[in-house]
Amino acid sequence: MAMKISFEFLISGFTVGCSLTRENFSFASLDISYTVPIPEQCKEGWKGEVLEEPSIRSESDYNIQCYCPATGRLLGRVKPAYPEDIDKAIAKSAAAQEEWAKTSFDERKRVLRSLLKYVLVNQDTIITAACLDSGKTRIDAALGEILVVVEKIKWVLNNGEKALGPERRNMNLWGLFVLAFLGIKGSENTAWSSDYFVSTIRGALAACGHNPDLVQSITCWPEVAPHLTSHPRLAHITFIGSRPVAHHVAASASKSLTPLCIELGGKDAAIILDDVPNIKALSSLLMRGVFQSASQNCIGIERMVVLPKVYPKLVEILEERIKKIRPGSVLDDDEVDCGAMVSAAGFDKLESWIEEAVRKGARCLVGGKRLVHPKYPQGHYFSPTLLVDVTEDMLIAQNETFAPICVLMRAKDVTHAIHLANSTEYGLGGSVFGRNKQDIDRVVREFKSGMVSVNDFGVYYLNQSLPFGGVRGSGYGRFAGVEGMRAVCNVKAVCEDRFPRLMSTAIPPVVDYPIGDGNRGWRFTKGLIELAYGESWGRVAGGLWKLLTNM
């Protein structure tokens, strides 16, 4: 019997499997230039109203009040979706999906190539939108909003078609079928930029002659979200957020049995062995790992677990460098290293964790408190912080901070370092730095996490050929890579005869209904099993004999 795998077009929206080679090149693969309206707030010279008490909740209406967390300037107000709006969005996408399911890989490549071109041509606008809505710096936005996106698109262009293309297997045939809906439910804290970013994707679809309704952006308040997450027409949900919210999403999705990929928080540890060759050079990588995007990075370094010989020197270097970090609004001031926090809601908690750690013996060498910025008093800033001598019994060692706080923990040896790295409920990513291959291999093997970088930080996120996701309290499922692409597809197993004209499946008379002799039929069936799966030649021969004498 011949078996093969056929991955029919996944296509949750624009993340489509495709590739471009000399063999399959056609003019349909060429990209198209297009434009989408640029938000007024992204244009040079824009100055918005500064809110006295910035909040996404408006006192006057139900709308989402969008503002720049770096300055407190009002960006606009977004009307949140109600249940009926969610129903309409899903219906529109489902209708567009019926036509999209009939498109070829060449047509889908064209959309992706057009989108890639748009992103590269319009980097300044995209970066500005990201900075306005999240408070991050241009460099952080380039790494998070541009670099990862274009890497994703290029990977899918180069590898997606192969990942979803037919392949033969020994005993099964399975296919990937079209998903009914691509919806993006963004955070209320970044509702303003979500509309613009989604418009760039819809623009690529429209420019290439496809229905832009395929991709829908939904922004709603938490009390309405269950209507979306329990919707019976959703084929898959990828949730990125906190563990408490994930419990609600999972419970809601279970009503419709919608499959989930859940990527939650992390308490990623960087284990630093005693034989690192250049501590000063390493400190640059560690600083980026901690403070990029003001530490609002799911794979950011939340803890440094350091062996004794390196510990004092690393503390000295980091203290000097962290004192020099300059928070601020990069759109208003070029001399900025670290942006704002998206929200100030967690500042009380962060300060209490630091205070508790100090009471238990930790030393706060830099920062430790929220920062009222002299230029941007309405902005959400937390002082870049260095907290050393942290132990595993402290709250800040167990809980994700998602804030510009550099935490150092002293490890006695490699065994203790691994214990500390695994001492939280999380298991997203991690890293190890050193030269001893035996020690490094042991750390990689015993790290209880979904991903590990060796002598590097977070490269498993940039490399879109790798499956991304965690274990334990950091969630389940994977996105990115072949595993991620196939995970958002429906699998169907199909079997067919290899040579149907010469041989086809038939029921032997001895087991055909009505069965004449049950004992003889049982001996025949037993012989068939032993012939096919016997663990020894004697068992196989005995099976063949039973088969032949009971036919």
Q: Which of 300, 74, 295 is nearest to 191 (CA)?
A: 74
Residues 431 and 378 in one domain: yes
Give the pLDDT confidence score for residue 187 in this predicted structure: 86
The model's pLDDT over 292-319, given as tens digits with 9 standing for 90+, comes to: 999 999 899 999 999 999 999 999 999 9
> Is the separation of the CB atoms in 455 and 289 below 8 Å?
no
- Mark which of 203, 237, 265 sits at the end of a domain: 265
In a domain, 48, yes or no: no
Query: Any bridge partners for residue 77, and if so which?
Result: 65
On whether residue 50 sits in a domain, the answer given is no
The string of pLDDT tens digits covering residues 262-283 is 999 899 999 999 999 999 999 9
Asked if residue 92 and residue 128 are part of one domain, the reply reads: yes
Q: Note whether residue 370 is domain-resident.
A: yes
Q: Answer yes or no: do 285 and 192 share one domain.
A: no
Are 432 and 270 contacting, i.e. CB atoms less than 8 angstroms apart?
A: yes
**Where among 265, 298, 321 does a domain terminate?**
265
Mean pLDDT throughout 247-259? 95
Give the range of the structural domain holding residue 208, as residue numbers without chain letter.
55-265
Distant-in-sequence, close-in-space partners of 45: CB < 8 Å, separation ≥ 6: none
Residues 314 and 249 in one domain: no
> What local confidence, expressed as pLDDT, does residue 186 receive?
77
- Residue 356 shares a structural domain with residue 253: no
* Closest among 529, 531, 534, 533 to 545, alpha carbons compared: 531
203-224 burial: b if 16+ Cβ within 10 Å, else e: bbbbbbebbbbbbbbbbbeeeb
User: Do 273 and 257 sit in the same domain of this protein?
Assistant: no
The question of whether 49 is a catalytic residue gets the answer no
494 in a domain, yes or no?
no
Percent of the chain whose pLDDT exceeds 70: 91
The number of folded domains in the chain is 3
256 and 279 belong to one structural domain: no
Whether residue 137 is contained in a domain is answered as yes
Which pLDDT does position 26 carry in this prediction?
Answer: 43
User: Do 213 and 291 belong together in one domain?
Assistant: no
Q: What is the pLDDT of residue 173?
A: 27
Q: What is the pLDDT of residue 138?
A: 95
Whether 179 and 317 map to the same domain: the answer is no
Q: Do 447 and 514 share a domain, yes or no?
A: no
pLDDT in tens, 55-106: 999 888 999 999 999 999 999 999 999 999 999 999 999 999 999 989 998 9
Whole-number Cα distances in Å, 454 to 188, 322, 457: 36, 24, 8
Instruction: Give per-residue pLDDT as tens, 320-348.
Output: 999 999 999 999 998 999 999 999 999 99
In a domain, 34, yes or no: no
> Mean pLDDT throughout 401-406?
97
Query: pTM for the full model?
Result: 0.86
Mean pLDDT of 421-425: 97
Please count the other Cβ atoms lying within 10 Å of the Cβ belonging to residue 232: 9
- Is 245 a residue whose pLDDT tops 80? yes
* CATH code at position 280: 3.40.309.10
Q: Is residue 165 over pLDDT 90?
A: no
Does 541 have pLDDT greater than 90?
yes
Question: Confidence band (pLDDT; 50, 70, 90) for 488?
Answer: confident
pLDDT band at 425 (very low <50, low <70, confident <90, very high): very high
Mean predicted confidence (pLDDT) in 238-263: 94
Residue 21 lies in a domain: no
Tokens 């291999």 found at: 441
pLDDT of 169 reads: 63
Q: What is the pLDDT of residue 344?
A: 95
> Are 180 and 251 in the same domain?
yes
Quick check: is 476 in a domain?
no
Rounded Cα gap, residues 352 and 33, in angstroms: 52
Per the model's pLDDT, the better-predicted residue between 515 and 31 turns out to be: 515
- pLDDT number for residue 176: 34
Which range (39-48, 184-193, 434-443) has the least confidence?
184-193
183 pLDDT exceeds 80? no
CA–chain centroid gap for 82, Å, is 27
Q: Which of 227, 241, 300, 223 is nearest to 269 (CA)?
A: 300
**Catalytic pick among 107, 263, 302, 530:** 263
Q: Examine the domain organization and report whether 280 and 257 are in the same domain.
A: no
* Residue where one domain finishes, among candidates 437, 457, 477: 457
Q: Which of 534, 510, 533 is nearest to 522 (CA)?
A: 510
Q: How confident is the model at residue 170 (pLDDT cuts 50, 70, 90)?
A: low
